[in-house]
Structure 1
Amino acid sequence: MKPLFSLAARSAWNRRFVLSLVVMSIALSTFLLLGIERIRHDVRENFSQSVSGTDLIVGARTGPVQLLLYSVFRIGNATHNVRWSSVQAIGRHRSIAWMVPISLGDSHRGFSVVGTTPDYFERFQYGDRQALRFAQGRAFSEVFETVVGADVARRLGYKPGDRIVLSHGDGALAANDHADKPFVIVGVLQATGTPVDRSVHISLQSMEAIHLDWVAGVPLPGMAVPADQVARHDLTPKNVTAVLVGLKSRAAVFSVQRSIAEFEAEPLLAILPGVALDELWEVIGVGERGLLAVSTLVSLVSLVGLVAVILAGLNERRRELAILRAVGAGPRQMLVLLAIEGALVTLSGVLLGAAACFAAVAALRSWVQSQLGVMLQLQWPNQNEWLLLAALLACGWVASLIPGFRAYRLSLADGLSPRV
C-alpha cells in the first residue's frame, strides 16, 4: 500500500497545476459550508441567548411569542400594559428574588427607548450569563440622563455628554418629539449582539416626566411642563410594558408562573424565555436551512468538478496506466491508485478550506460583532461541523471511485494503442 501512496502523490504532483484548481474548488466549498454552519450555529446561539438569567417575563395576557417579541426584541407593541400596583404585588411573592420592569413605546431616530431601573444594568444578562458592561460612562441616575446601546452610539456617532431628543411612538412626525425635554448621554454599553445594542435606556421616572403633559398619546395644548419643573410632580410610574423576573430557586418557576396566571387584579401572562425563543426560532429558522442547502449544492458542484477533472485527465494517462499494468500492476491496484489520488486531493481541499474558515473567524469576529451584532465563537468544530467535514471527505473519496472504476476496466492493449 505504501508504494501506491508514494506513486499517487508523485502522479498528483506531476499534474499539480490542474489538481491545485480542484483543491481550491473543494477548499472554497468547504470554507462556504463550514462558514455558513458556523454562522448558522452562532446566530442561533445569539438568538436563543438574547436574554439569560431571567426566569420569567411577565406582561399583559397575550401570546407567548408576542410578549417575547416586544419585551426582548422590541418588535411590535403591547396590547395592554401592566399596572404598577400589580408589579408591586407580584414582587411580594416569596419565591421572587428580583424584578426589573421595562416600559416601551417611545423611540429615538428609529431606535427603541426602554424605560427601566438601574437594576437593569446589573440583572439583565445575555449569552452564557454575561452581564452588561459599559464601554464608556456610567448608568443613569438623574431624570434626564440616558444610556445608549453600542449600535446606537456607533451609527449615530454618540458619546457621553451628547444631548438627544426622544420621540413619542415611532417618531414619524416631528410634532411628536419631546424637544422641550432633551436627555444627556451618560453611558455607552459594550456590544452584546442582542437588541440591547439597538436601545436607548432611560429611567421609569424619565418616561413619566416626558409624558406629564401628554394624554392618550397627544400633547395637551397650553399645559406644557418645563424640564426644570418636572421634579415637582409625582413621577411614580402608573404602568409598565413587561417585567423581567428572577427567582430564588428555578424549582419554583412553574408555581410562580401559575400564580401569575391566576392573578386576580388583572389578566397577566408569565413566559419562560427559553421556551418562547425555541417557538419563535421554529418560525424564523427556515432561512438557515436554505443557506445550508445552498452551501451543500456548492459542495456537490465541487465534487462533480473533481470527478470531471480526473476523468478528463484519465484519457491522457492511459499510456501511463498501461505501463503500470505492463510492469505488474493489477486492475485493482489501478482502482486503488485513483481512489488514493482522489482522497488526497479531497483531503487537501478540505483541510485548506477548514483552516481558511478558522482564520477568517479569528480575523473577522470583532468586526462581525460590531457591525452585524453576531458573536462568532472561535472554537474547535462542533459535532455538526465534524460531520460535515467527514461527509465531504467521504463524498470526495466516493467520487474518485468513478474514474478509478473506469481505469480498472482499461485493458493493456487499449492503453498501449490509444484510439485517436
Structure 2
Amino acid sequence: MVFLSLALKSLKNRSFATILTVISIALSVMLLLSVERAKRAAEQGFTQTISKTDLIVGARSGPLQLILYTVFNMGNATHNISYETYETLKKHPAIEWTIPYSLGDGHRGFRVVGTTEDFFKHYHYRGQQKVKVAQGIEFKELFDVVLGAEVARKLNYRIGDKIVVTHGVTKGEGIQDHGDKPFVVSGILASTGTPLDRAIYMQLEGMEALHVDWQEGAAPTKDKIVPAHQLSKEKLHVHSITAFFVGTKSRIETLSLQRELNTYKGEPLLAIIPGVVLSELWQGLSFVEGVLKIISWMVIAVGFMAMLIALTTSLNERRREMAILRAIGAKSGQIVGLLVFESALLTLLGIVLGTALAFTLALVLGPWIEGEFGLYLAGPIFMWKELMYLGITFIGGTLIGLIPALRAQNLALKDGLSVRL
C-alpha cells in the first residue's frame, strides 16, 4: 500500500508525462488488438465464405480453379457441365439439395451469375447465415435480376432500374452490350461481406435468353434479333451450367459421393469439399498472416520504446525526489522497486485503456468495415493469442521499468539534497 500511495502521488505530480505515457501504451495495445482481430476476421471471412455446402461440382480442372470461379467469381471454367448431367445427378439418393451456378457475362466490371431460387434457400456463409434480399424481391420474371449489396451501392441502382448486360467478363463499359434485352432490378441482397456482394444474379433461363439469337458466339444481325417480348421461360431450354453446389443428406456420405462424382462416366467432373480447399488455400497465403504477426510485434516494440523514452526523460526531474527518499531511509532496492511498480502500473493502465478503445472501435466501426472491406469483426473479443500478447505487453512493460530504475539507483547515491541550478 505504501508503494501504491507513493506511486500514485508521484504519477499525479507528473500528470502530463503520465498521461502521455499511458496514451502511447494504450495506442500500441489498441493497434495490437485491432491487427490481431483483423487477421482473425480475414481468415474467418476467407474460410467461411461458403458454409453448409458439402461439395462443389464442376468440370474437371483443378480444386483451386474450381473454388476460385465458383466461390470468388474469379476466372473462368475450362468447360461447362451439360444440364442433362446436372438433372440426373440432382436426383442421386445421397443428395438433399443442389444449387446450379452458371457464370456468364458482366455489367460494368461486375460478374453476372445465373442460378435458381434454390440459391436463396440453401446458400449459407459464416455458419448459419443465409442469403437475404434486403430490398425488393427475388427474381420472378425472366428478365429480373438481384444485385449484390456492393453492386447496388457503387452503381447507385434502385429497385425498378434497368441494366444492360455486356457480353463476356469485362472491365468498365465493355464492347458488346445486350441492349436489346435489358433486365430490371427486382431485388438487392443484404450485405454479406463476401464475394456475393460483388455479383449480379439472374435466372438460368434469363442467361439463355441473352444468347438465344447468337450463332457460334457472334452477335446476331438486326434481322435475326429475337425481341425480348417474344421470349418466356417455357420457350427456353438451359443447355449447360458452370457448376453446382451440393448438400448431402448425411455428412457421412460426402466422401463416397465425392469419389463417385470424380469417376462419373457420363462426362469428366470434379467434386471438391469447399471447406478443405479453402483452408488449404489460406495456408498457401500464410505469408499474409506472417506479415500481420510481424506488424503486431513491431507495435509492441514501439509501445515499449515509447514508455522507456518517457520514463528515462522524466528521470532527471525526479533526481531530487530519489535523493530525498534515500535521505529518509529508503533502501536502493526500494527505489528500484518503486520505479518498477510505477512502470507496471502505467502498463496496466495503458492495457486497460487500449483494450477499451479497441473494443469501442470494433463496435462502432464494425458495420462500416464489414460493408467496405468485407471484414466481419463479430465473434469473441479475446482469443488466446490476444491474451498472450497482453500478458507479454504487461511483463515487458514492467521489465522496461528496470532500465530507468537501475539508473535512478546509481544517481540517488551521488545526488545530494541541494537544488542544481
TM-superposed CA distance for 1:97, in Å, is 0.4
* Distance 1:230-1:360 versus aligned 2 partners, 3 A rule: same
Which deviates further from its counterpart, 244-253 or 81-90?
81-90
Task: Please say if residues 36 and 296 of structure 2, whose CA atoms lie closer than 8 Å, have aligned partners that are also in contact.
Answer: no
Aligned counterpart, 1:297 = 298
Q: Is the CA contact 2:102–2:242 (under 8 Å) kept in the aligned structure 1?
A: yes
1:75-127 per-position Cα deviation (integer Å, ceiling 9, x unaligned): 11111111112212221221110111100021111111010011101100111
Which deviates more from structure 2 when the two are superposed, residues 307-316 or residues 181-190? 307-316
Kindly provide the CA deviation profile for residues 351-375 of structure 1, in whole angstroms up to 9, marking residues without a partner as x: 1111111111111112222222322
Q: CA deviation at 1:266?
A: 1.3
TM-score (norm 2): 0.95
1:205 equivalent in structure 2: 205
Instruction: Report the Cα distance in structure 2 between the residues aligned to 1:292 and 1:174, rounded to whole angstroms.
Output: 41
Residue 46, structure 1, aligned to residue 42, structure 2: no
Aligned match of 2:109: 110
Which whole-Å CA distance do the structure 1 matches of 2:202 and 2:346 have between them?
Answer: 59
Instruction: Return the TM-score normalized by structure 1.
Output: 0.95
Distance in 2 separating the partners of 1:43 and 1:401: 38
Shift of 1:299: 2.5
Aligned partners of 2:302 and 2:416: how far apart in 1?
30
Q: Which residue of 1 aligns with 2:350?
A: 349
| Whole-angstrom CA distance in 2 between matches of 1:356 and 1:349 | 10
Match of 2:30 in 1: 31
Q: How does 1:300-379 map to 2 (within 5 A)?
A: 300-377=301-378, 379=380
Q: Give me the identity figure in percent.
A: 45
Task: Output the CA distance in 2 between the equivalents of 1:301 and 1:140.
Answer: 54
Query: Structure 1 residue 292: deviation in Å?
Result: 3.4
Contact kept in structure 2, 1:181 and 1:227, CA below 8 Å: yes
| Comparing 266-275 and 293-302, the one that deviates more | 293-302
Give 2:12's aligned residue. 13
Matched residue of 1:354: which SS?
Answer: helix
CA RMSD of aligned residues (A): 1.9
Once the two structures are TM-superposed, the CA of residue 138 in structure 1 deviates from its matched residue by 1.1
Q: d(CA) in 2 for partners of 1:386 and 1:118?
A: 45
One-letter amino acid of the counterpart of residue 104, structure 2: G
Give 1:243 shift: 0.5
8 Å Cα contact 1:36/1:291 also seen in 2? yes
Q: Which moved more, 1:331-340 or 1:281-290?
A: 281-290
1:413 is displaced (CA, Å) by 4.1
Structure 1 position 279 matched with structure 2 position 280: yes
Alignment of 1:107-146 (within 5 A): 107-146=106-145
The 8 Å contact of residues 104 and 207 in structure 2, kept in 1 or not, is answered as no
Q: Say which SS state the counterpart of residue 218 (structure 1) adopts.
A: coil
Per mean C-alpha deviation after superposition, the further-off stretch among 80-89 and 401-410 is 401-410
Residue 73 (structure 1) aligns with: 72
Q: How many residues align?
A: 419
Does residue 1:162 correspond to 2:161, yes or no?
yes
* Structure 2 unaligned regions, length at least 5: none
* Deviation of the 1:302 alpha carbon: 2.2
SS of the aligned residue for 1:166 comes to coil
Residue 415 to residue 390, structure 1, CA distance change in 2 (3 Å): farther
Tell me which amino acid in the other structure corresponds to 2:219: P
Contact 1:22 1:302 in 2 (8 A): no
SS at the partner of 2:104? coil
- Residues 246-255 or 217-226, more deviating: 217-226
1:357-411 deviations in whole A, cap 9, x for unaligned?
1111111112222222322216432222111211211111111111122233445
> Cα distance 1:295–1:415, how it changes in 2: closer, same or farther (>3 A)?
farther
Q: What is the aligned partner in structure 2 of residue 405 from structure 1?
A: 406
Q: Aligned letter for 1:346?
A: T
Q: Tell me the CA shift for residue 232 of structure 1.
A: 8.4
